[in-house]
Amino acid sequence: MNNAKPVTVPFATHFKLSADMSPKTDEEMEHMSSVSYSIATGSIMYAMICNQFDISHLVSIVSRYMACPGKEHWQAVKWILRYLKGTINVGLTFHRAKMSDLVVGYVDSNFARDLDKRRSLTGYLFTLSGTAISWKATLQATITLSTIKAEYMALVEAVKEANSNLEVEMGSEEYLGLVDCYRID
């Protein structure tokens, strides 16, 4: 990966990963046994936790296939590593927050995009003074039957985060602003 060309997009649109891409032949299984998929995924997860919140959804996707990764899964992990290589000098910058600053929240979901279980994805991000302070991207626990129900479930998760964790950390519920719901599809 030292000579790999950096990319500017965290995940290309041509990656549509599913469990069907896992190795099926002995030759494919032997090849993938020599690949350090779990180590690379763990390294990406460490980068996500420390300062690369923009890859949290990607870590969620590639970590689903750690038990039996295929060549396409490995290509996706290598793509993420190339993205991290291009953003090595990028990180979170914290500025002194004023008491007048509000925590701003963004939340979204995508309806049934998980190819394996048809579950929707919930994602939210909270910022203070323009810097991310809390974020999450995860599959919803239940299967929804409509886009609006998936959006509602995502909003509920974000409001729970704002009301429980952020209120405790910030020390005041007046410090929390409204959660803005944006549709990004």
Cβ burial of 160 (10 Å; 0-12, 13-18, 19+) is: exposed
Whether 92 is covered by a domain: the verdict is no
Q: Is 35 in the same domain as 75? A: yes
Lowest mean pLDDT among 53-62, 68-77, 109-118, 169-178: 169-178
Q: Is 126 in the same domain as 60? A: no
Q: Is 108 in the same domain as 170? A: yes
Q: Is 79 in the same domain as 117? A: no
Q: Is 107 in the same domain as 179? A: yes
Q: Is 110 in the same domain as 173? A: yes
Eight-class DSSP state of 98:
P
What is the tally of structural domains in the chain? 2
pLDDT of residue 132 exceeding 70, the answer is yes
Last residue of a domain, one of 87, 117, 142: 87
Range of the domain at 173: 103-183
Backbone dihedral angles phi then psi of residue 147, each to the nearest 5 degrees? -65, -45
pLDDT (tens digit, 9 = 90+) per residue, 21-77?
A: 888 889 888 888 889 999 999 999 998 887 777 888 888 889 888 888 999 999 999
Residue of 180 and 113 predicted with greater confidence: 113
Given this model, what pLDDT does residue 80 score?
92
Residue 140: both structure tokens together: 């919803």
Residues 6 or more apart in contact with residue 144 via CB below 8 angstroms: 111, 112, 120, 150, 153
Q: Is 111 in the same domain as 165? A: yes
pLDDT of residue 178 exceeding 50, the answer is no
Which pLDDT band holds residue 184 (cuts at 50, 70, 90)?
very low
Q: Is 65 in the same domain as 118? A: no
Q: Is 70 in the same domain as 117? A: no
* Average pLDDT for 119-147: 83
CA-closest candidate to residue 107, choices 153, 173, 166: 153
